[in-house]
Structure 1
């Protein structure tokens, strides 16, 4: 069977065309997403610049990575931002320690967090602002209404949602256009399959987090994955990323790393053409 071709770009919100394999900044902060990963921030700055030099046009970050650290690194490395580079960030969660998360979706909180992200990113408008979690204690209409107001004020270009189900996405779309969804999804974890199907129907970008299964898909332990990887002279992590690119045209993986070598390895996954036979074999892992 011949190799299958995949679209290499996707228009977020119908207008922000990005290469589908982006870069996530979670790998630039420490364990538990707390503090910087490297003692020398210049290492992270160099990595971000290398990603863009290699053709990455989508950078995915969040205000609570660090907290604040990742957004500040993005601005330090890439501002003034080159034409065509899309910066996506998130708000709606407050961090008080490693792996200690507090959902904060009240309108005044969201406005303050967006303002702080604008300052750290040194920009007047955030390309894609994603609500990191829906606050169960605040009506969805109040949360998304606030983001819509920020959008109308020119502070946000497009609105996205993180960790939602299909019903929530449908309800959200009735309040304001949703340009992206960011749910956990990878070769081994497809619990969000119904959300992905809805995104395909609506033309909504889907940014899968933990695209490498929090490292599980990059360690080469699975025999089936290792067999396909060997056939392509690739690593298991590269095959896992290539599978996402083949699985749906709306999937935009943004794997993160603190290593230049690992960055290069990830980006090479975009050049792997899987066959129908490969895909059928990989389906066995579902």
Structure 2
């Protein structure tokens, strides 16, 4: 495993980290097995968040007795000083530690970012926690180019997390600026939220970019760790065949696709929006018609139930036309 320095934080981390979203699918014992495997394989960077339900607590239990083997990063969507201070203390308790290496402001839009940095904003709590030794460094996670560009100008930002993958390359110029400014760049959604099926190809693409400090694919099974390790350890130049395969993925997915971040939820009428689009992807892109229709049919509330209120679209960080997409999904599945 290659080790790198996470920008101006000075933290020495593995080039591939562990994305903690998917462990919500397993249990505490399963997480312990994953943490032991990370140690065995030399992966020392762990990413989680307050918003990932049981993720922090499962990880905290899983790394007990091995805390010194990991660089822990978590994040909060709190925007005020009071709320952020409370979340930091909850994270410390959940992770069973007295310090967190990197604490990040989680996905603010421009208006929320102004609240974060304003009087009584979350940044005040982060700076106080840093001074008190509760956290080591401060970063930010973003989904929009506008906020990304703004974050690059802020002297307190030590790391930036942003989606970057075969089909989402809009941030390449700003990612390069991170490198120039010695800001650690953390790549989320390397598989485009699961839309890219070939994980090896996806990780090879990301790691071929020297401006990417660390990539954090989500994992919940030990076999995923081993497969992803193989892809990241092979840092040779991309082949003509791989470049051709990447172009094929771009043509298949385009840019109007769901990354399954679920920021659009909850739906007013209870539609599992990302679930609808997941099954539609299997129907359209992979030809698994029977499989997709069987699972779509088992959904309690289907795409056709959409009342077109538009609440989901106001929350989507990718500005997807969700109502239109749900209508298309309903037409294809007939419900």
TM-score range, shorter chain: 0.7 to 0.9
Is the CA contact (8 Å cut-off) linking 2:105 and 2:140 kept in structure 1?
yes
Whichever structure has more helix as a proportion of its residues is: 2
> What SS does structure 1 have at the residue aligned with 2:188?
coil
Look up the match of 2:4: 10
Counterpart-to-counterpart distance in 2, 1:170 and 1:245: 22
Aligned residues, how many? 239
Look up the match of 1:213: 192
> What SS does structure 2 have at the residue aligned with 1:172?
coil
User: Of the candidates 121, 129, 151, which is equivalent to residue 103 of structure 2?
Assistant: 129
Unaligned runs of 5+ in 1: 1-6, 30-36, 93-103, 219-235
Q: Displacement of 1:87 after TM fit?
A: 0.7
**Which runs of structure 2 are paired with 1:87-126 in the superposition (5 Å)?**
87-92=72-77, 104-126=78-100
**Which runs of structure 2 are paired with 1:132-171 in the superposition (5 Å)?**
132-134=106-108, 136-137=111-112, 138-141=115-118, 142-163=121-142, 165-171=147-153
Q: Tell which deviates more after alignment, 254-263 or 162-171.
A: 162-171
What's the C-alpha RMSD, in Å, of the aligned pairs? 2.2
Q: Displacement of 1:125 after TM fit?
A: 1.2
User: Of the candidates 65, 68, 71, which is equivalent to residue 52 of structure 2?
Assistant: 65
Look up the match of 1:275: 237
Look up the match of 1:83: 68
Counterpart-to-counterpart distance in 2, 1:237 and 1:109: 37
User: Normalising by the residue count of structure 1, what TM-score does the alignment of the two structures yield?
Assistant: 0.76
Is the CA contact (8 Å cut-off) linking 1:209 and 1:254 kept in structure 2?
yes
Look up the match of 2:20: 25
Counterpart-to-counterpart distance in 1, 2:201 and 2:116: 41
Is the CA contact (8 Å cut-off) linking 2:5 and 2:213 kept in structure 1?
no
Q: Displacement of 1:117 after TM fit?
A: 0.5
Aligned: 1:172 with 2:154 = yes
> What SS does structure 1 have at the residue aligned with 2:163?
coil
Greater Rg over alpha carbons, structure: 2
**Deviation per CA, 1:92-119, whole angstroms, max 9, x where unpaired?**
2xxxxxxxxxxx3011000000011011
User: Normalising by the residue count of structure 2, what TM-score does the alignment of the two structures yield?
Assistant: 0.66
Counterpart-to-counterpart distance in 2, 1:139 and 1:14: 21
Q: Displacement of 1:281 after TM fit?
A: 4.6
Look up the match of 1:3: none
Change in 2 beyond 3 A, CA 1:274/1:111: same
> What SS does structure 2 have at the residue aligned with 1:247?
coil
Is the CA contact (8 Å cut-off) linking 2:67 and 2:97 kept in structure 1?
no
Aligned: 1:183 with 2:162 = yes
